[in-house]
């Protein structure tokens, strides 16, 4: 019997949301992944160290639960000649993946694994195209709880008939996010659910469905093949872009790309902006703050990708920010925060260095409002209640600063602040207040 059910969700343009039992996948996944920290240098010791740190640092207590092994976990030379199963590298995982899974489960956490919808992974290890049933059954037997499924090693006969506009892969320039130089574009109105990409990812979905174990399914096809129109009927999340990198330029480029691809996000389906780089590379503390704030606000899965044993306390505290986690994991409002004003540029401008700067979104605690300084120097940012879609009709609201938890009391008109370069100010706006207000609450009854 299938453990997943396809259910019509009117809010999702794709028409369907993939629902797993026990509400797995209803909200964005929270966890840790090995790739950004270690790439192919992965083994049981590093995985278990991360798992123990998730518990020790209190990350488990605030909801982080998946410990995900990325690429390079298997023997590279091939599959078991008899069973056709992928073979865990005995030097990296001497107790097998099942042994690692048992240890992670004993900590009250869940374990994820990696493969690709092709003949080889991105690092050249055995992948799952043509072996979906075997691999899904193997992972279920090992105790796997999550699958990240990449898009490398695709043979020519599984290529898509047409190309979709993806303004980083499609051959620029990209005037305001369009792809005028796209070769072999799909005809107008083409149904991407009929593409080979959809079929490749659908085969693994069906193989996972057939297992007597709930395995959350995370698609990683880099935003190609119109995935935002079919991803929510195939997996719990789908990558919206190519890979993130450990620098500010790539982080803000993904924020810009993702700001135009949020309409399909709701309960049971999440647009994955890629793993977090908090604690990595060239990101400053203020840049890390903006990075985490917007990934949480867009309701992307929040998958930590750093060596937790050396992560400084201020960044651990950032990853545990109760206001942003509560918004990301809200069980009443499933839609993400979205831009309401671009700021530096005219509204709806596609710009990889100066994306939308003013965002808002509803939650059961009120309205989350963010204002971002994309410039290279300090600049003034002004939030006007009259411009925030969720706050129109009220001029005075109770306000809490999401960074320090302090109450600003009853604030009239809005907030104007000098914001450091690449930093973000954020507020949770609660109930209406002030003289003569009619006790109108900015929250559900």
- Indicate which residues carry an active-site annotation: 150, 243
Neighbours of 110 (CB within 10 A): 23
- Which helix H or strand E contains 360, and what residues bound it? strand 358-363
Count of residues in the chain: 445
SS3 content of the chain, % helix, strand, coil (to 5): 25, 20, 50
**How far is it, in rounded angstroms, from Cα 216 to Cα 265?**
17
247-280 as b/e: b if 16+ CB within 10 A: ebebbbbbbbbbbbbbebbbbbbbbbbbbbbbbb
Q: What is the token pair recorded at 199?
A: 């079929």
Shortest CA distance to 43 belongs to which of 64, 7, 72, 11?
Answer: 72
**How far is it, in rounded angstroms, from Cα 315 to Cα 288?**
8
**How far is it, in rounded angstroms, from Cα 115 to Cα 24?**
20
Strands 16-20 and 358-363: unpaired
**How far is it, in rounded angstroms, from Cα 301 to Cα 283?**
20
């Amino acid at each position: 019997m299938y453990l997943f059910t396809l259910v019509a969700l009117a809010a999702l343009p794709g028409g369907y949301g993939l629902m797993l039992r026990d509400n797995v996948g209803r909200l964005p996944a929270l966890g840790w992944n090995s790739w950004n920290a270690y790439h192919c240098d992965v083994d049981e010791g590093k995985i278990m160290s991360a798992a123990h740190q998730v518990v020790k640092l209190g990350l488990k207590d605030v909801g982080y639960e998946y410990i995900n092994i990325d690429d390079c976990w298997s023997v590279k030379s091939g599959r078991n000649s008899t069973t056709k199963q992928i073979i865990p590298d005995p030097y990296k995982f001497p107790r097998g993946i099942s042994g690692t899974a048992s240890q992670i489960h004993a900590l009250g956490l869940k374990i994820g694994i990696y493969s690709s919808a092709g003949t080889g992974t991105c690092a050249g290890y055995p992948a799952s195209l043509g072996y979906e049933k075997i691999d899904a059954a193997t992972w279920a037997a090992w105790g796997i709880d999550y699958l990240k499924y990449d898009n490398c090693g695709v043979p020519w006969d599984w290529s898509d008939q047409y190309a979709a506009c993806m303004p980083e892969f499609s051959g620029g320039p990209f005037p305001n996010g369009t792809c005028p130089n796209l070769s072999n574009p799909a005809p107008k109105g083409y149904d991407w659910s009929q593409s080979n990409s959809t079929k490749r990812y659908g085969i693994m979905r069906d193989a996972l469905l057939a297992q007597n174990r709930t395995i959350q399914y995370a698609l990683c096809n880099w935003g190609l093949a119109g995935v935002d129109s079919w991803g929510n009927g195939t997996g719990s999340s789908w990558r919206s872009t190519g890979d993130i990198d450990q620098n500010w330029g790539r982080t803000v480029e993904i924020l810009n790309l993702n700001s135009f691809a949020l309409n399909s996000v709701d309960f049971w389906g999440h647009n994955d902006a890629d793993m977090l780089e908090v604690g990595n590379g060239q990101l400053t503390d203020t840049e890390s703050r903006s990075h985490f704030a917007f990934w949480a606000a867009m309701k992307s899965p929040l998958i930590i990708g750093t060596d937790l044993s050396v992560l400084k306390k201020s960044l651990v505290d950032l990853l545990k920010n109760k206001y942003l986690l509560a918004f990301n994991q809200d069980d009443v409002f499933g839609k993400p925060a979205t831009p309401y004003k671009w700021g530096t540029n005219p509204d709806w401008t596609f710009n990889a260095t100066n994306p939308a700067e003013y965002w808002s979104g509803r939650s059961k605690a009120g309205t989350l409002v963010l204002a971002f300084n994309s410039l290279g120097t300090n600049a003034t940012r002004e939030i006007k209640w009259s411009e925030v879609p969720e706050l129109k009709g009220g001029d005075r609201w109770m306000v809490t600063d999401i960074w320090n938890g302090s109450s600003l009391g009853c604030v009239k008109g809005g907030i104007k602040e000098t914001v450091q370069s690449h930093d973000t100010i954020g507020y949770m706006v609660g109930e209406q207040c002030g003289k003569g207000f009619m006790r109108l609450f900015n929250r559900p009854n």
